[in-house]
Amino acid sequence: MNDPITRLPGRRFLHSPGPTPLPDAVVHAMSVQPMDLGDPRVDANIAACEEGLRQLLQTRDADVFLYASNGHGVWEAVIVNLAAPGEAVLVPGTGHFSESWAEQTEALGRRVVRTPWREGWPIDVAALEQALRDDRGHAIKAVFAVHTDTASSATSEIAELRRALDAAAHPALLVVDVVASLGAVPFAMDALGVDVAVGASQKGLMCPPGVGFVAVNSAAFEVAKRNPAPRFYWDWVRRKSDLSYRKFCGTPPQNLLFGLQAALSLLFAEGLPAVWQRHSQLARAVHGAVDGWREGGALDFFVQDPASRSHSVTTVTVGPGIDVEALRAVARDRFQVAIAGGLGPLAGRAFRIGHLGDCNPAMILGAIGGVEAALLTLGVAAGTGAMRRAVMSLAQG
């Protein structure tokens, strides 16, 4: 092969916010031969994934539906199960991913009520509550909220959204996208009053892309049962079965599910409080580095409120004249650190450092060092002391 990457020593650090690095145990779990669908190990694997996700989502009774899909696929599952064509949902603005979900909803013939997004800030809860109060006829069937927007790196408080729904006395279901947050921060579905949680495998769950899932409580399932919208592959009612081929509307993605079971076992073996603390520690280290870089005047946090900065990913804005794609290329090809670019309205204006999943302090320091080396290579004013700030943050625990 002429690919120079194959001749480079060591490992390339993957610090996009998804996909994320795979633990060896997950890779090994996926390397087995598939089984015939009558093998009892197939049903045992599916059951372990369903129960593990319930435990991670902190829900006792919700049905878990697994799909051979990415996150956009399970967005579609939510849309077609909860709203009929012509019916309305509310999508509070968080940036690129809330708008993408809204556009997908409209493409499927549903109406979308949006609340405005202010760049660098989480969901405007007051605007959400007002939109619900203005819907006096209760035409809005559900609120589709993104917990952590992977593009902006802002995390919104789900408890505040639940309070807004209750204050407005609105019966809309609360649907939360936890694709970028699950496994990095606590998410207590039942205690938060969330009716449907939407997730995917390739971020905090430390698996390859390809498995999407929804957790659906009884109220949301009843809405789906009454919904006349045509659907087949995505249909929760059709998939609620003890038979594996009915659960997946066909053949399950067995090897991905073996990996998911292994990943969930790793999270529980580490202990969820320890997992969440580790992500908090790594995020603080990255935030410390950005504090150092911003002193040069060319870089800054995109998220303005420190309390809303994600534990999963950090979006860093760049000044005029800085070529983000050149920065990414130098970091990746010369220093072996892969980071993400800006999405949607942030394209060309920002880069993103992922710090979630199978990640530890040494990996984060390597990522920070690689990014800083790329900045210096391109002559970007990056301040001083970024690495020391990160190290001090880690040393303080």
In Å, what is the CA distance from 132 to each residue of 65, 157, 180, 277?
29, 17, 26, 35
Residues of each domain in the chain carrying CATH 3.90.1150.10: 4-20+271-395
Residue 1: pLDDT band by 50, 70, 90 thresholds? very low
Pairing assessment for the beta strands 337-338 and 111-115 based on DSSP bridges: unpaired
Extract the runs of DSSP E, i.e. beta strands, from 246-390: 299-301, 313-318, 337-338, 340-341, 350-354
Q: Are 293 and 286 in contact (CB under 8 A)?
A: no
Identity of the amino acid at 15: H
- The secondary structure of 148-163 as a DSSP string is B-TTT-BB--HHHHHH
Q: Give domain 4-20+271-395's CATH superfamily.
A: Aspartate Aminotransferase, domain 1 (3.90.1150.10)
Is the pLDDT confidence value at 7 over 90?
no
Residue 2: pLDDT band by 50, 70, 90 thresholds? very low
Is the pLDDT confidence value at 124 over 50?
yes
Q: Are 59 and 176 in contact (CB under 8 A)?
A: no
Token pair, residue 169, equals 């006395």
Is the pLDDT confidence value at 10 over 90?
no
Helices then strands, counting H and E runs in the chain, come out as 15, 13
- How remote is the C-alpha of 175 from its chain's centroid? 14
Nearest residue to 42 via CA among 267, 263, 268, 251: 251
pLDDT at 383: 87
CATH, domain range 32-268? 3.40.640.10
Average pLDDT in the 87-106 region? 98
Read off φ and ψ for residue 36, nearest 5 degrees.
Answer: -70, 155
| Average pLDDT along the chain | 96
Read off φ and ψ for residue 197, nearest 5 degrees.
Answer: -115, 140
In Å, what is the CA distance from 341 to each residue of 105, 124, 295, 301, 309?
25, 25, 21, 14, 17
pLDDT tens column, 132-143: 999 999 999 999
Per cent of the chain over pLDDT 70 is 98
Residues of each domain in the chain carrying CATH 3.40.640.10: 32-268
In Å, what is the CA distance from 356 to each residue of 36, 229, 252, 275, 276?
34, 37, 27, 10, 10
Average pLDDT in the 49-56 region? 98
pLDDT at 141: 98
Residues 6+ apart with CB under 8 A from 11: 336
pLDDT at 397: 77
Residue 6: pLDDT band by 50, 70, 90 thresholds? low
DSSP 23: P
pLDDT tens column, 142-177: 999 999 999 999 999 999 999 999 999 999 999 999
Average pLDDT in the 102-109 region? 98
Instruction: Give the C-alpha separation, 391 to 360, whole Å.
Output: 13
Q: Are 35 and 41 in contact (CB under 8 A)?
A: yes
Instruction: Give the C-alpha separation, 60 to 37, whole Å.
Output: 28
pLDDT tens column, 307-361: 999 999 999 999 999 999 999 999 999 999 999 999 999 999 999 999 999 999 9
Nearest residue to 147 via CA among 350, 314, 284, 308: 308
